[in-house]
């Protein structure tokens, strides 16, 4: 089974576990819609690649960790798209959750997805119960206070914010969780793995900023030119398009050095480069150059 | 130290653990505001009373369970008050969180409080790590899909809903978690304890419906006459004011029989009766009669 298939199956299995006739149909549909069909599933792919490099011994634990991270990512997209934040009508090329199901069910679907991430960790660690605590620690840190996704989103409402802090909370934290959770799921100390995720997250965020300025609405499946319109901190606003592209390349050049010693380092490096090569479309890379 | 003090100290301790200079000040303030000063803290009091009746051996575990339940309750109030739900300007006698901090920070504060509930369980079970998994199970079930608080809230947007299902999800689930978590925190099988919490929750919900019709805005600290205005299912709408009052009394009369055998059953019964006696103010009890 390839990695993409493992991720979809894990997501389906853990969502299935909380469905049923006692669930309000609207909420059930909104949650399914928020998760399927997905985007690139970059974070869970990185999580599984790290688990593999660390000598994965309980596949269902790493699959649960990867699924939990993707569920939190989906939750953050649903809430970010709400009228009081980005007010985005489009996501993944179709109406955003609040456009399709209304604002109340979008708020509740996001809440339910956050809870489901923890239910997923619990269900996935039945065979290795000692791995639940480190995974709860990693996952909760990536999304909660003081420096997780909610904090990153909240920085948008502060009068002053440093770009690096903002990007680390809003994007880096979940990538750091992806690598740390991959290690923890394999029974390996997660701390040394955070730096790798943070670096990949930084690169990803710079690309996101570039695509917001130079990307194509149809290819991205979401509106562009939002950072400037909303006054959000952005690499492009800070260093220009060409500066941002160079910044991306210099971040990626340092990725290899941040991979902790492990049996599968070479395979992991290849996978990360493959994923990263998809971040910035070739056409855009020329456009920016 | 009395129970009320234990609860406030546990809440302060677990909130303190996620504060710090790296947290956006607005989010930090909104979260503090959502939790302090609190309401009656009914759910954590019941949780601690059950832990005591079950022979509590790790006070910090039961305090974390009680705090987690109160944090989820606060999260649900913050999101319920949002413009897209109850659009309530008042809570606990002062502006609701979105009135005081704006809608974006209210959404994020609710999200952060949900995550903080799990962080609290993790931090509280350091001395008894085998109790983390049952507590995560109980807490996540009470708030997530298919039958937790978010599901209860989502029933308000369905064309048809049974009053009992709605109330069980929206209110009963967190009371069931309070009794179950109290038992699990003391290392006792939680399942037999759910029925007690569900019953207390049912009684509490009936009182809430009565107060919505016959209560006093100033004493309640929140708007009244909301169920009818919003077309929410309500005991009073279904059985009238006098019928609802009798229903409350008949639910409470059955509470004793639902207490599972335990060393501290008599003390627990007295505490539950004491808490329940505060549900319906004396004046209102006459008004309704």
Mean pLDDT by 10 residues, chain A (289 residues): 95 96 94 96 97 97 98 98 94 95 98 98 97 98 96 93 85 96 98 96 90 83 82 86 91 92 94 84 54
Position A218 scores a pLDDT of 78
Residues of A in contact with B119 (CB under 8 A): 136, 140-141, 144
Position B287 scores a pLDDT of 47
Alpha-carbon gap, residue B223 to A141, rounded angstroms: 36
Position A24 scores a pLDDT of 94
Q: How confident is the model at residue B161 (pLDDT cuts 50, 70, 90)?
A: confident
Alpha-carbon gap, residue A116 to A215, rounded angstroms: 33
Q: Is A146 within 8 Å of B108 when comparing Cβ atoms?
A: no
Position A288 scores a pLDDT of 43
Bridge partners (DSSP) of residue A94 are A91
Position B135 scores a pLDDT of 98
What total number of domains does chain B contain? 1
Predicted TM-score (pTM) of the model is: 0.95
Task: Give pLDDT tens digits for B165-191.
Answer: 888 899 999 999 999 999 999 999 999
Q: How far is B112 from chain A (nearest CA, A)?
A: 5
Q: How far is CA B254 from the centre of its chain?
A: 21
Residues of B in contact with A114 (CB under 8 A): 111, 114-115
Task: Give pLDDT tens digits for B40-75.
Answer: 999 999 999 999 999 999 999 999 999 999 999 999
Q: How confident is the model at residue B282 (pLDDT cuts 50, 70, 90)?
A: low
Position A289 scores a pLDDT of 41
Question: Is residue B108 pLDDT above 90, yes or no?
Answer: yes
Q: How far is A130 from chain B (nearest CA, A)?
A: 8
Placement of tokens 């953050």 in the chain: A76
The arithmetic mean of pLDDT across residues B268-272, rounded, is 92
> Which ranges constitute the DSSP H helices of B54-162?
59-80, 97-101, 103-124, 132-143, 149-155
Position A280 scores a pLDDT of 73
Q: Which residues 54-113 on chain A approach chain B with CB closer than 8 angstroms?
A: 75, 79, 82, 84-85, 102-105, 107-108, 110-112
Alpha-carbon gap, residue B6 to B65, rounded angstroms: 12
> Of A86, A64, A75, whose CA–CA distance to A9 is shortest?
A64
Position A227 scores a pLDDT of 81
The arithmetic mean of pLDDT across residues B241-252, rounded, is 91
Position B70 scores a pLDDT of 98
Position B162 scores a pLDDT of 79
What is the rounded average pLDDT for all residues in chain B?
A: 92
Residues of B in contact with A151 (CB under 8 A): 22-24, 27, 112
Q: How far is B172 from chain A (nearest CA, A)?
A: 14
Q: How far is A118 from chain B (nearest CA, A)?
A: 7
Measured N-to-C along each axis, helices A25-35 and A103-124 cross at an angle, to the nearest 10 degrees, of 70
Q: How large a percentage of chain B has pLDDT more than 70?
A: 97
Q: Which two tokens stand for residue B75?
A: 């999260």
Q: How far is CA A213 from the centre of its chain?
A: 21
Pairs from B227-232 (Cβ < 8 Å, separation ≥ 24): B230/B86, B230/B156, B232/B156
List the single residue in A26, A82, A125 with the smallest CB-CB distance to B154.
A26
Q: How confident is the model at residue B277 (pLDDT cuts 50, 70, 90)?
A: confident
Alpha-carbon gap, residue B107 to A154, rounded angstroms: 10
Position A215 scores a pLDDT of 83
List the single residue in B20, B108, B155 with the smallest CB-CB distance to A146.
B20
Q: Are the CB atoms for A95 and A222 separated by under 8 Å?
A: no
Q: Which residues 135-174 on chain A approach chain B with CB closer than 8 angstroms?
A: 136-137, 140-141, 143-148, 150-151, 153-158, 161, 165, 169
Residue B262 to residues B57, B199, B253, B268: CA-CA distances in angstroms? 14, 18, 20, 10
Q: How confident is the model at residue B223 (pLDDT cuts 50, 70, 90)?
A: confident
Task: Give pLDDT tens digits for A24-33.
Answer: 999 999 999 9
Q: How confident is the model at residue B278 (pLDDT cuts 50, 70, 90)?
A: confident
Question: CATH number of the domain that A204 lies in?
Answer: 1.10.600.10
Residue B80 phi/psi, 5-degree rounding, is: -60, -35
Alpha-carbon gap, residue B182 to B135, rounded angstroms: 9
ipTM for this model: 0.94
Kindly give, in sequence order, each residue whose CB lies less than 8 Å from that of residue B73, ignoring residues fewer than 6 positions away.
Answer: B43, B174
Q: Is A23 within 8 Å of B143 when comparing Cβ atoms?
A: no
Residues of A in contact with B130 (CB under 8 A): 129
Residues of A in contact with B29 (CB under 8 A): none
B128 touches chain A (CB under 8 A): no
Interface A-B: count of C-beta contacts within 8 A: 178
Give all strands (DSSP E) within chain B, no chain letters: 90-91, 94-95
Position A49 scores a pLDDT of 97
List the single residue in A24, A107, A169 with the smallest CB-CB distance to B158.
A24
List the single residue in B18, B84, B130 with the smallest CB-CB distance to A104.
B84
Q: Is B144 within 8 Å of A18 when comparing Cβ atoms?
A: yes
Question: What single DSSP character describes residue B169?
Answer: I
Position B56 scores a pLDDT of 96
Question: Is residue B289 pLDDT above 90, yes or no?
Answer: no
Q: How far is B237 from chain A (nearest CA, A)?
A: 22
Q: How far is B34 from chain A (nearest CA, A)?
A: 15
Alpha-carbon gap, residue A211 to A194, rounded angstroms: 26
Alpha-carbon gap, residue B242 to A93, rounded angstroms: 54
Question: What single DSSP character describes residue A90?
Answer: E
Q: Is B122 within 8 Å of A111 when comparing Cβ atoms?
A: no
Domain range for B200: 3-288
Alpha-carbon gap, residue B249 to B220, rounded angstroms: 21
């Amino acid at each position: 089974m390839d990695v993409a298939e493992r991720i979809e199956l894990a997501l389906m299995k853990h969502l299935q576990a909380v469905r049923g006739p006692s669930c309000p149909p609207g909420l059930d549909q909104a949650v399914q819609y928020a998760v399927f069909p997905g985007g690139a599933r970059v974070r869970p792919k990185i999580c599984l690649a790290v688990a593999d490099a660390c000598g994965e011994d309980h596949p269902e634990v790493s699959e649960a960790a990867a699924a939990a991270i993707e569920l939190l990512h989906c939750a953050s997209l649903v809430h970010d798209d709400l009228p009081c934040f980005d007010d985005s009508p489009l996501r993944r090329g179709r109406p955003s959750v609040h456009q399709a199901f209304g604002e109340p069910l979008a708020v509740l679907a996001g809440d339910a997805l956050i809870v489901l991430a923890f239910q997923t960790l619990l269900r996935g660690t039945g065979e290795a119960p000692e791995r639940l605590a480190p995974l709860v620690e990693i996952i909760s840190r990536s999304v909660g206070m003081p420096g997780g996704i909610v904090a990153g989103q909240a920085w948008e409402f502060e009068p002053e914010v440093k770009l690096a802090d903002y990007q680390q909370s809003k994007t880096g934290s979940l990538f750091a969780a992806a690598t740390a959770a991959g290690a923890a799921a394999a029974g390996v100390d997660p701390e040394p793995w955070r730096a790798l995720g943070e670096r990949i997250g930084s690169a990803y965020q710079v690309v996101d900023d570039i695509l917001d300025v130079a990307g194509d609405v149809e290819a991205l499946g979401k509106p562009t030119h939002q950072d400037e319109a909303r006054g959000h901190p952005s690499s492009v606003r800070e260093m220009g398009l060409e500066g941002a592209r160079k910044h991306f390349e210099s971040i990626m050049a340092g990725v290899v050095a941040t991979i902790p010693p492990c049996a599968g380092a070479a395979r992991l490096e290849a996978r990360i480069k493959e994923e990263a090569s998809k971040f910035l479309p070739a056409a855009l890379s020329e456009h920016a150059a």
